[in-house]
């Protein structure tokens, strides 16, 4: 990877100095809650931010300008008891693009299956090898997915280590836990094929090999050179989208297609709105296959000048 690992001795002595992979900001919304003390959610906000920003998640060096920005909007919609809740976790992660002030979205996802318990002064305790509490496991899962996406954007299959850690979290969930806390198994999710289970399954599936290559090309070979060679970058993007379209043909229910479109559609429209007519047409044709629900959105660039 571009980001090299620190020497083991330095890691041992100064682990916390280089542990900040993330700059996370959390917003918690509780419009319908009446029982719980509002101070509980201020404590939860700070706890989640510390979970991202202060824990060690990798052995890589992240310079301040390389850190992954994460924004979490946590909408808590139901209080089962004073300390038991249901909500939606809207999470977006971005990474900087070389030679620019621009950041590209790696993940933009809404998890509607977040059920959790939280008490005053509770500490979020994450374990890779066992279940501590559901909120910690959910957050840990997304941390590893984001690190995987970031790794894939710098090196072909550079995220494998982190995707496997996300899969390990899935594997640690027993049937009893999955029945209580949805999103961890193939069934029982409000999101059907859009759950955590399927996110991890899809990203590690041999069926999406072309997607992983295209994802790397899109970021490292295209976006990261956009500043000084935009025409070459756009050509590489078209090739990457062509590969992703092949995945859409062979695996139409693949969750990664929706994840890619959610993260990249606005960026792609901005880039190809200024492209030559033939390139615009090819972009529209490809995206209508990858993200057919939003076909009209892509066709709108025909009016851009």
* Rounded Cα–Cα distance for residues 18 and 202 (Å): 31
Look up the pTM and report it.
0.91
* Whole-number pLDDT of residue 194: 83
Q: With contact defined as beta carbons under 8 Å apart, do 132 and 117 qualify?
A: no
The SS3 assignment for 102 reads coil
* Whole-number pLDDT of residue 32: 81
* Whole-number pLDDT of residue 289: 97
The neighbour count for residue 31, using CB atoms within 10 Å, is 7
* Whole-number pLDDT of residue 13: 36
* Whole-number pLDDT of residue 185: 87
Q: Could you give the angle at which helices 230-250 and 277-290 cross, rounded to 10 degrees? A: 30
- By the 10 Å C-beta count (0-12 exposed, 13-18 middle, 19+ buried), 35 is classed as exposed
**Per-residue tens of pLDDT for the chain, all 305 residues:** 545 433 333 333 334 445 589 999 999 999 888 777 889 999 999 999 999 999 989 998 888 888 999 999 999 999 998 899 999 999 999 999 998 999 999 999 999 999 999 999 899 989 887 888 999 999 999 999 999 999 999 999 999 999 999 999 999 999 999 999 999 988 755 556 789 999 999 999 999 999 999 999 999 999 999 999 999 999 999 999 999 999 999 999 999 999 999 999 999 999 999 999 999 999 999 999 999 999 999 999 987 65
Closest among 123, 119, 125, 117 to 177, alpha carbons compared: 117
Give me the residue label for tokens 């693009």: 97
H helical segments located in 92-183: 134-154, 160-172, 175-180
């Amino acid at each position: 990877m571009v980001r090299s690992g620190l020497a083991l001795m330095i890691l041992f002595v100064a682990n916390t100095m280089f542990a900040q992979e993330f700059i996370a900001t959390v917003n918690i919304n509780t419009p319908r809650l009446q029982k719980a003390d509002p101070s509980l959610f201020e404590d939860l906000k700070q706890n989640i931010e510390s979970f991202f920003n202060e824990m060690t998640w990798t052995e890589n060096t992240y310079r301040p300008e390389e850190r992954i920005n994460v924004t979490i909007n946590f909408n808590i919609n139901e209080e089962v008891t004073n300390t038991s809740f249901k909500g939606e976790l809207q999470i977006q992660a971005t990474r900087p693009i070389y030679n620019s002030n621009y950041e590209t979205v790696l993940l933009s996802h809404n998890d509607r299956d977040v059920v959790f318990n939280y008490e005053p002064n509770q500490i979020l305790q994450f374990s890779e090898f066992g279940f501590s509490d559901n909120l910690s496991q959910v957050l840990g899962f997304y941390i590893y997915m984001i690190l995987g996406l970031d790794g894939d954007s710098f090196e072909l299959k550079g995220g494998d280590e982190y995707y496997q850690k996300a899969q390990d979290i899935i594997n640690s969930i027993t049937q009893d836990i999955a029945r209580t806390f949805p999103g961890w198994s193939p069934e029982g999710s409000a999101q059907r094929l859009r759950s955590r289970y399927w996110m991890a399954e899809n990203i590690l599936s041999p069926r999406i090999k072309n997607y992983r290559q295209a994802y790397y090309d899109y970021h490292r070979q295209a976006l990261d050179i956009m500043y000084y060679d935009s025409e070459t970058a756009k050509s590489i993007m078209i090739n990457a989208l062509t590969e992703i379209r092949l995945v859409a043909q062979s695996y139409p229910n693949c969750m990664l297609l929706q994840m890619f479109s959610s993260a990249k559609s606005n960026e792609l429209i901005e880039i190809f709105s200024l492209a030559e007519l033939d390139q615009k047409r090819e972009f529209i044709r490809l995206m209508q296959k990858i993200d057919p629900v939003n076909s009209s959105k892509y066709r709108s660039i025909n009016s851009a000048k």
